[in-house]
Amino acid sequence: MLETGVIKQRTLKTSINCSGVGLHSGTKVSMTLNPAPVDGGITFKRTDIAGLGAVIPAKWDHVVDTRMCTTLGNDDGVTIGTVEHLMAALAGCGIDNVLIDVNGEEVPIMDGSSQPFVFLFECAGVVEQDAPKKIIRVLKTVSVNDGEARLCPGSHLSLDFEIDFDNDLVSRQSLSIGVVNGSFAKELARARTFGFLRDVEALRAAGLAKGGSLENAIVVNGDKIMNEGGLRYDDEFVRHKMLDALGDLYLAGAAIIGGFQGTCSGHTTTNMLLKSLFADPEAWKLDVLQGPEALSAIDGGIYPELAETA
C-alpha cells in the first residue's frame, strides 16, 4: 500500500455492470463502472448520446440542479442525475478514478442506499495505481447559510449532522462519525433514502419520484414505516442524510480532510459550501498524505483495505 510513505490512487480492477430504475425518471437504466487512468477522476459518460458532449465530470462546478437529488451537467446541456449515493460509495471506499457509462439520464437507485455500489466494487476488485492519492486539506473554517453547513480543519474526514422533521417518527436526530476504521461500510452505506407518503402525489406531479417504491426508499406514513422489515438502523434517516452529504462533498474532486457539520442541510447547501471553499484560496490546499501522517491514516483505516497492489 505504501512506498516511501505515500498513499496511492485507486481504481477498479475490472469493469462491472448493473441495471435498475431511475428514482425520479422511473425509466430503466444500465450502468457500467470502468477502470480509469491515474488522475482521471470520476467521470460520467452518457452512452445514449453520441460524441464528446456525452462526458460529464463529477465536479462541484458541474452541478446544475439540486432539487431532491444532485444533478451534474456539461456545457452541451447533457445531464446525469441522482449521483450522490454512488459518489458516497466511491468516497467511502477510497476510489479515485472511475469512468461511469450510463445509458440514461439518471444513476439507478438500486435499493436507495450505497450498499449495492460497495458490493459492485468488491466484485470488480480495487487496485492501487502508480501515483499519490490527492486530497483537499481544509485550512480554515468555511460556512454558509448562517452555519447551516460548514467545513473546518481536521486530521481526517469527520461528519456531524442533525435533522429535524415535522414528523413524530423521524423528528430530531443527530450523529457524528469519523470516516475511519471502515465506518462508511459499517455505519452509513446501508442507510436508504426516505420520503413521506403525504408528499408522493406532489412529487410525481412535479416530475419527481416516478420510480420510487418500497423497494428503493423508506416510506413514512404518519407514525408508521410502510416498508416490510422496518428500518436498518434506528436512526437511518440522519445516517442517509449524512451519506448524501458525503457523496456531494466528493464532488470536490478529491477526498476532503476536514470536518463537515450540517444542520438540516441538503444538496443545495453542500454545493454552496464547496463553492465557498474553493472561492477562498486560503481555505484549502491540494495535498497528498505521506510520511508519518500517511502511516497514521492507514493505521486508522481512513481508506478501507479494499485495494490490491497492481
Which letter, b or e, does each residue of 13-25 get, where b requires 16 or more Cβ atoms within 10 Å of its Cβ? Answer: beebebebbbbbb
Q: How many CA within 13 A on the CB side of residue 1?
A: 18
Do residues 266 and 145 lie in contact, with contact meaning Cβ atoms separated by under 8 Å? no
Residue 28's domain spans which residues?
2-308
User: Is the pLDDT assigned to residue 1 strictly greater than 60?
Assistant: no
- pLDDT (tens digit per residue) in 27-84: 999 999 999 999 999 999 999 998 767 999 999 999 999 999 999 999 999 999 999 9
**Of the residues 24, 85, 240, 267, which is catalytic?**
267
How many domains does the structure of the chain reveal?
A: 1
Residue 204's φ and ψ, nearest 5 degrees, are -70, -30
Which tens digits make up the pLDDT trace of 105-149?
Answer: 999 999 999 999 999 999 999 999 999 999 999 999 999 999 999
CA dihedral 146, 148, 152, 157 (to 10 degrees): -170
CA separation for the pair 247, 225 (Å, rounded) = 25
What CATH number has the domain bearing residue 198? 3.30.1700.10
- Judged against a pLDDT cut of 60, whether residue 170 lies above it is answered with yes
Kindly state the average pLDDT of the residues 92-105: 96
The 10 Å Cβ neighbour count of residue 33 is: 24
Q: Is 156 a catalytic residue?
A: no
Residue 201: its pLDDT value, please?
Answer: 78
pTM of the model: 0.94
The count of other CB atoms within 10 Å of the CB of residue 114 is: 31
